[in-house]
Amino acid sequence: MNLEIAKTLDTPYIFMEHGLIKIEGRSLPENVLKFFAPVKKWLEKYLKKPAEFTLIDLCVPYTNSSSIKQINDFLKDLNKQFLEGYDMKIKWSYDEDDDSVLEIGNDLESMLDIPFEYIITKTLDKQKVRLKVKNKKTGKTGEISQRYWETIKRNGHERDFELLKEI
């Protein structure tokens, strides 16, 4: 009865099993209702016989209001179970420099009875991390930033380069 949804550029990784609900990554799906439909279906089954303890691990650094509504809706359903005596905890991870994600966590916490634990993550300065790459077409090597490498991958050009090492 597990559910696993792979992460994409605009959708988070989701893993749900008995006692664990994990959502990690950007949540900007084009059709939020369609994307979260399997989550809702899994949760409906899970709530019929939940684990004695459920960890809800959330790390959504970029999200839209439609995704937050979906997350809020399923957290409210879980909150009902919490009030019936099932033990739960929400781990809300956010970047130390991102007050808006912290605020979303605070807003959700204010509407729920489930205890929250805030996890502060450190900002990785991707401009400072350098990579040595080789262009497969020309054979030339060069240094680029981690951020530029991510842009190359996002645009589908990763296959044109070989990542040699982190500098």
Q: What share of the chain is helix, strand, coil (3-state, %, to 5)?
A: 35, 30, 30
CA 95/CA 124 separation, integer angstroms: 9
58-84 pLDDT tens trace: 999 888 999 999 999 999 999 999 999
pTM exceeds 0.75 for this model: no
Which SS3 state, helix, strand or coil, does residue 84 take?
coil
β-partners of residue 53 are 87
Q: What is the pLDDT of residues 104-140, one digit of tens each?
A: 999 999 999 999 999 998 765 544 678 899 999 999 9
- Cα separation of 84 and 10, whole Å? 35
